[in-house]
Amino acid sequence: MEKMRVSEYRKIAKERLRGQWGLNAGIFFLSSLLTMAVNRVTGVVNSGSIQTIMSFVITTFVLFGFTYAMYYVGLFVTRGGRADIAQLFVVFQGKYYVPLLIINVIGSIIQYVLGLVIFIPLLLQGGLGFYISLVLGTGAVNYSMVDRFASAGFVLLFLITVILYAIVSSIVSGLFRFAAYLKFDYPELSAMDCIKKAWDLIKDRWGQYILLQLSFIGWYLLGILLFVIPVLWAVAYANVANAAFYDQALQEKIDVKGTI
């Protein structure tokens, strides 16, 4: 079966958002306000260590719910529904909260570990440059040459590392976004089953998924240039397009296997 093009997912998103662009952007804005308001709770604590712990707990157990709720909104709109502000709290329902919390924690751990592994060469390069300058530097000219070499190598490695991390981060976030979609569609599935089935859905679509994310960069940049507010519309657009991407992958899987 021929896969849909990236432009077709964006076209679906535009069609589904007709008449509710502002509503979806507004819901995302409200989600951001709620996130900031909840984060302010940590500001009442003077102790830095306690504040850090509180911030971690709030982010892990509360704030993730608003992010995952936006996934739900995108999926609902993709299937012809009209977004509702009440959907911002859908994750905190009993049938969703604990499994989605587990999915979020696992995803966060994997993202942190992969980030650490990816950035290790960058850390080693910084240390190596310092070591070379100490061991091989015998005069002003040699120090200058070593410094230029180390700096150029470090900058190049930094750029490569950042690009690699962006790609890996996009892949990981896509996998766990799919897992959340599956939990919304099939509440009876466990968190681990959602992750496994999400992998099965997205494993042959990584390239296209990354291209879909890259296709919105221009929209984000335009929104920033126009004083940030239009970014809300870009986020709503990307949110529904990503849900359409998942919906198509799910339908194709069902068509082939008769089940997920």
DSSP output for 115-136: HHHHHHHHHHHHHHHHHHHHHT
pLDDT at site 145: 47
The CA distance from 229 to 14, in Å, is 19
Report residue 31 as tokens. Answer: 């989600």
CA–CA separation, 115 and 161 (whole Å): 10
pLDDT at 31: 94
Residue-level pLDDT at 192: 96
Q: What is the pLDDT of residue 256?
A: 86
CB-neighbour burial class of residue 37 (10 A; exposed 0-12, middle 13-18, buried 19+): exposed
Per-residue pLDDT tens over the stretch 5-42: 999 999 999 999 999 999 999 999 999 999 988 878 76
Which structure tokens are listed for 84? 């509702």
The helix/strand/coil state of 80 is: coil
CB contact at 8 A, 120 and 113: no
Question: pTM, whole model, 2 decimals?
Answer: 0.86
What is the structure's pLDDT at 132?
52
pLDDT of res. 84: 96
Q: What's the pLDDT at 229?
A: 81
**At residue 229, what is the residue type?**
I
Q: Which helix (H) or strand (E) holds 195?
A: helix 191-202
Counting as low any pLDDT under 50, the low residues of the chain are: 131, 134, 138-143, 145-146, 149
- In this prediction, residue 140 carries a pLDDT of 45
215 CB-contact burial (10 Å; exposed 0-12 / middle 13-18 / buried 19+): middle
Q: What is the pLDDT of residue 57?
A: 85
